[in-house]
Chains A and B, each alone.
Chain A
């Protein structure tokens, strides 16, 4: 079969690889009909995530048709159309049973490796480094889905791939980011990053009752999308002398009630903090750039929540702990517990509360994926989200 493989920094290629096969009783094989490129994939593409191996198949946002089933999968049938959550989880451990699917105890074959770094291991993920299990991803013609009896959700009649594909990750991720804020009626939420995750965070904040969302980025068309499609007030951070003052002024001197970092470890930026981060990173003294996270903590109003869907992998420097402490902030973060949100968000889509297709800017074939990665990285051609049709 054909699959998009990672061969190094800025080097992904479509290769012919052996077909996906059933390896465990709870596995299924999916013929992939749609799969997307994610901002998280860019962290791999840019070489920020450790423990990648040449030849790893990428892709964690995919859906398709069941073509083979392991002996223990009884709730699916050949031919079912399913959406696959990007985190792999067993459904039976303490964390799964408490809706903390991304913390599953039993799905990461390289748990020991992760424990050496993190103390305790996160769940496995598709196509997201060996630390996260080393599973082959879904930017391929076929994909193996472990614990298929618990993860995938069947697609109701009448919904297109494009409508439901983002249930795999970015819609639940934006939703969890907003959910983690504990939004109360009247609240103002500030969102850093108007990529797909930021867009869904904005819309989810409204779905959860926010009065107002302020969205920040520096890419004009993404800001326009945030304003026109997601109904946020927008701020181009590059045009601000003092972002803190801007946000303070916009919120009547209180600061945003909650701040969402939908950018993560590759934050762009200006200012001393960013120069400092870049220097450190070049000298391999720090692994992640925490520009946005610092700003979110700095700008957040007293007693607020800083919710962090943006990915971090290693160590941060100059973390403003005293600021967070003084204002009594709550920090929430982590990979998304996608399974928790699949059914309720599928229902929202069916009811028409939200139409996730608004983020799609490009459709491509799998063969075009390497060009797609480059385009998505460079944000050329107004690229916001690429859907691949293998």
Chain B
């Protein structure tokens, strides 16, 4: 992030009111928007994919060409405009991919039920789905507090892509998508997540940073690893709480 972007996001945060703990934000893996990468050749979006120089293009690309989008009854043109204004052409983008030894349908179905996501994303307390497209997210913040936001499903093509994004007056503007693709010859399914967001400065920014950890890429990496573990092994491997010869005063390695 450049100084510039910090400045511009600060401005938008002030307008939205930083003191409100209710925010729209997205942790590694949740946010989002969509269809950042075209799942199949020939898709109208491919030209925009992630090679687009900035979020502006990403948002424009997705909203402008997604057939599922208008079916959701939102006005993509206005939203794209707003979002891109707030973001400028900067922001943080993280991407990660994982291969999972399960049929595409199972993986899609698990992710599509957002209430499952707290099982794989440790920074989430809960996700509740309010109607077909809107959901409410509660994430853990320091000192037992929470950060909450509303998100909207903006693209959903079964076994291909799920995309969602923060609602327009979010303090943290974010976008992202998860795409599913059957891998070659018995290699399972490739799951790819791309997330873009512009965290605000100030207190809220610090909380966001805390939730994301020092490294948003690592957080996304963890989330997808957990997704894979749950889907393949049915549980997440752990040593937490196991016996050791360390006294309670000794630091336990995670």
Name A residues whose Cβ lies closer than 8 Å to a Cβ of B: 1, 3, 5, 7, 13, 15, 17-21, 23-26, 51, 53-57, 72, 88, 90-94, 97, 105-112, 124, 130, 133-136, 140, 144, 146-147
Contacts and interface: CB of A to CB of B under 8 A. Distances in A.
Contacts of A109: 236-239
4 tightest A-B CB contacts, nearest first = A5-B245, A55-B246, A55-B245, A90-B233
Q: Which of B99, B188, B229, B245 has the most chain A CB atoms closer than 10 A to its own CB?
A: B245
Interface in B204-254: 218, 221-222, 225, 228-229, 232-247, 250, 252-254
The interface residues of chain A, by DSSP majority, are classed as loop
A134 B237 contact: no
20 contacts: A3-B243, A5-B244, A20-B243, A23-B238, A24-B235, A24-B238, A26-B233, A51-B253, A53-B253, A54-B245, A56-B245, A57-B243, A88-B237, A92-B233, A94-B186, A94-B188, A112-B218, A133-B237, A136-B239, A136-B243
A97 B101 contact: yes
Contacts of A18: 243-244
A25 to B, nearest CB: 6
A26 B229 CA distance: 13
A72 to B, nearest CB: 7
Contacts of A17: 243-245
Interface string B100-126: 010000000000000000000000000
Contacts of B245: 3, 5, 7, 13, 15, 17, 54-57
Contacts of B145: none
A309 B83 CA distance: 57
B102 to A, nearest CB: 9
A19 B242 CA distance: 8
A51 B254 CA distance: 12
A24 to B, nearest CB: 5
A26 B234 contact: yes
A21 B188 CA distance: 34
B244 A133 contact: no
Contacts of B229: 106
Contacts of B247: 55
Interface string B159-202: 00000000000000000000000000011100000000000000
Contacts of B186: 94
Given A90-B233, A106-B228, 6 more contacts: A21-B243, A23-B239, A26-B235, A55-B244, A106-B232, A110-B254
Q: Which of A13, A55, A111 has the most chain B CB atoms closer than 10 A to its own CB?
A: A55
Given A19-B243, A23-B238, A140-B243, A112 B233 contact: no
Interface residues of B, number: 31
Given A92-B101, A94-B188, A106-B228, A53 B237 contact: no
Contact of A136 (B187, B242, B253): B242
A176 B226 CA distance: 31
Interface of B: 99, 101, 186-188, 218, 221-222, 225, 228-229, 232-247, 250, 252-254
B240 A23 contact: yes
Nearest to B241: A23
Contacts of A24: 235-238
A105 B233 CA distance: 9
A25 B234 contact: yes
Nearest to B222: A112
A136 B238 contact: no
A147 B246 contact: no
Contacts of A55: 244-247, 250
A56 B246 CA distance: 7
A90 B238 contact: no
B232 A144 contact: no
Contacts of B252: 53
A17 B250 CA distance: 14
Given A94-B101, A94-B187, A112-B221, A106 B237 contact: yes
Q: Which of B222, B234, B236, B242 has the most chain A CB atoms closer than 10 A to its own CB?
A: B242
Contacts of B233: 26, 90-93, 106-107, 147
Given A54-B250, A105-B232, A23 B242 contact: yes
A133 B241 CA distance: 14
Contacts of A92: 101, 232-234
Contacts of A105: 228, 232
Given A72-B234, A105-B232, A136 B221 contact: no
Contacts of A91: 233
B74 to A, nearest CB: 37
A224 B84 CA distance: 78
Contacts of B99: 94
A111 B225 contact: yes
Nearest to B218: A112
Contacts of B239: 23, 109, 133-136
A288 to B, nearest CB: 23
